[in-house]
Amino acid sequence: MSLPIQSTEDLPLLQVSNTTKLYGGRIGCKDVSFDLYPGEVLAIVGESGSGKTTLLNCLATRLTPTSGSVNYRNRMGQMRNLYEMSEAERRMLMRTDWGFVHQHPADGLRMTVSAGANVGERLMAVGARHYGNIRDTATDWLGRVEIAEDRIDDDPRAFSGGMRQRLQIARNLVTGPRLVFMDEPTGGLDVSVQARLLDLLRGLVADLGLSVIIVTHDLAVARLLSHRILVMRHGHVIESGLTDQVLDDPQESYTQLLVSSILQP
Amino acid sequence: MTEHVETQGISGEHYNFAYLDEQTKRMIRRAILKGIAIPGYQVPFAAREMPMPYGWGTGGVQVTAAVIGKDDCLKMIDQGSDDTTNAVALRNFFVETTGVDTTTKTKDASIIQTRHRIPEDTLTKDQVLVYQVPIPEPLRFLEPRETETRKMHALEEYGLMHVKLYEDIAKFGHIATAYAYPVMVQDRYVMDPSPTPKFDNPKMDQMERSSCLEQAAKSASMPSRHTPRW
């Protein structure tokens, strides 16, 4: 008897089980497990040093976990363990199916080549060779992240912090990824720029149906962008659930402390 | 044990033949053989301190020293000419340490060490061309990490190379790279024959001779004899 064919929409995109990263005797993150579904935005929150970025790097193959497994459903619908794939396959994922938005745009951009080339790089990496087409796509994406068309040939060095961050987002989204990792994407930006960036991100995520894992220490960012939330402390996930539920009715005392620490204007 | 051949220079100093010790020469020859076996791949070798500053041809001199023999006839080119200061100095270095014949005629030379130009005359299979290459890594200016560029070569990730071409068209309206123009060897490895001008690149294709591209302390990268395609 064969099972009825299920749409992959209903199946998890990423399955994380017991992921642990130890730095010698110290815990980076320990026994983290969760599933991420297509179109879902998951926020990982916690104070500085709680293991958020370590976990993100383990998921994004930037850091090999000490134990546990991370499985990803590829476009063919197969579930693959990331750490059993070949390096070539992992890097192919990184530049097609995935995006990684760094906290500091200089880490995610090539600062010495123009904005157009920054956006076009991923296209060229997957075989695009027609200059006109690459440029048209780059122009389109700069427009979508609200960067003026006439800045296409400028270096990111000539851009403000907010513009660099938007350029980094365009560069990541140009190949139509299915999963984007973000590490404090609004860190270091002033509040009005933060608000516009968040608005932009929310629009793009909804329009493109992206799955996102976003690391932030800013609970307001988590509330605005995410559907679900993981609260981390000392490398452990201490509370998880729907964002509104966790933030409005925190159960753990540490989460209560975090929520009550938000400055009231 | 390797045979040590001593040479007495014009100045009266005694040198091992071609300045380098025999073990070093063997190490460099092994790198050259590996380079010939994997066309376009950069084979690292451990450069020795030479009696001239880095950037003045120390790597090329070591490759020449590793392949030169008593019966060779050496031609030395720098800036496309035999009579520039550096060409004269390097030629005299080999006269002093090996006592070989030298020439300015391409036809008569068995080893030609060159910076910039590839001789106009068609070379034969008995001739060796040694290029002095300051930066054999074509990805270097786009990706500064050696660990990363090695991975990119291994996985044939050359999308980044096209970013450079895109930049040229965006900034100048055409591909403005006039030297250090990257070449793909046998549809596999991309390498950089800098500082050879772009118009000399086609001469490297399908060459009869064998040639060694070097960089001090870094690599011997070889489009070997009868390279099918660049």
Instruction: Please give the order of strands across the beta sheet that includes A67-73.
Output: A26-36, A14-23, A67-73, A79-81
The tens digit of pLDDT for each residue in A48-95 reads: 899 999 999 999 999 999 999 999 998 888 899 999 999 888 988 888
Question: Of B144 and A156, which is predicted with more confidence?
Answer: A156
Write down the pLDDT at residue A196: 85
The C-alpha atoms of residue A17 and residue B69 are separated, in whole angstroms, by: 64
Write down the pLDDT at residue B218: 45
Write down the pLDDT at residue B222: 55
Cβ–Cβ gap B166/A91 under 8 Å: no
Any bridge partners for residue A236, and if so which? A233
Question: Of A235 and B135, which is predicted with more confidence?
Answer: A235
Kindly report the average pLDDT of chain A as a whole number: 90
Question: Of B219 and A67, which is predicted with more confidence?
Answer: A67
Rounded to an integer, the average pLDDT of B130-145 is: 84
With a cut of 90, say whether residue B93 has pLDDT above it.
yes
Write down the pLDDT at residue A126: 86
Instruction: Give the pLDDT band (50/70/90) at residue A101.
Output: very high
Cβ–Cβ gap B170/A129 under 8 Å: no
- List CB contacts (< 8 A) between B190 and chain A: none
Q: State percent of chain A over pLDDT 70.
A: 96
With a cut of 80, say whether residue B10 has pLDDT above it.
no
Write down the pLDDT at residue B145: 87
The tokens of B29 are what?
């020859």
Any bridge partners for residue B81, and if so which? B78
Q: What is the ipTM of this complex?
A: 0.80
Q: Classify residue B48 as exposed, middle or buried by CB count within 10 Å of its CB (0-12, 13-18, 19+).
A: middle
With a cut of 80, say whether residue B33 has pLDDT above it.
yes
Contact assessment for residue A108 and residue A100, using Cβ atoms and an 8 Å cutoff: yes
Cβ–Cβ gap A91/B157 under 8 Å: yes
Helix (H) or strand (E) holding A18: strand A14-23
Instruction: Give the pLDDT band (50/70/90) at residue B161.
Output: confident
- List CB contacts (< 8 A) between A129 and chain B: 162
Chain B contacts in chain A segment 62-101 (CB below 8 A) = 87-88, 91, 95
Amino acid at A206: A
Of the listed ranges A136-150, A208-222, B36-50, the one predicted with least confidence: B36-50
Which class does domain A14-261 fall in?
Answer: alpha beta
Question: Of B100 and B207, which is predicted with more confidence?
Answer: B100
Write down the pLDDT at residue A1: 45
Q: Record the pTM.
A: 0.79
Kindly report the average pLDDT of chain B as a whole number: 83
- CA of B152 to nearest chain A CA: how many angstroms apart? 10
Segments in B74-114 forming alpha helices (H): 85-98
Cβ–Cβ gap B159/A129 under 8 Å: no
Rounded to an integer, the average pLDDT of A203-212 is: 89
Write down the pLDDT at residue B4: 58
Give the three-state DSSP class for B122: coil
Rounded to an integer, the average pLDDT of B166-174 is: 91
Cβ–Cβ gap A120/B163 under 8 Å: yes
DSSP A169-238: HHHHHTT--SEEEEESTTTT--HHHHHHHHHHHHHHHHHHT-EEEEE-S-HHHHHHH-SEEEEEETTEEE
Segments in A34-96 forming alpha helices (H): 52-59, 87-95
The C-alpha atoms of residue A162 and residue A55 are separated, in whole angstroms, by: 26
Rounded to an integer, the average pLDDT of B60-88 is: 92
With a cut of 70, say whether residue A252 has pLDDT above it.
yes
Dihedral angle, C-alpha B174, B175, B179, B182, nearest 10 °? -170
Please give the interface size between A and B, counted as residue pairs whose CB atoms are below 8 Å apart: 47
With a cut of 90, say whether residue B15 has pLDDT above it.
no
Picking from A166, A165, A135, the residue whose alpha carbon sits closest to that of residue A152 is A135
Of the listed ranges A129-143, A211-225, B98-112, B135-149, the one predicted with least confidence: B135-149
Residue A223 phi, psi (nearest 5): -65, -40
Rounded to an integer, the average pLDDT of A211-234 is: 93
Write down the pLDDT at residue B47: 85
The tens digit of pLDDT for each residue in A24-36 reads: 989 999 999 999 9
- CA of A113 to nearest chain B CA: how many angstroms apart? 7
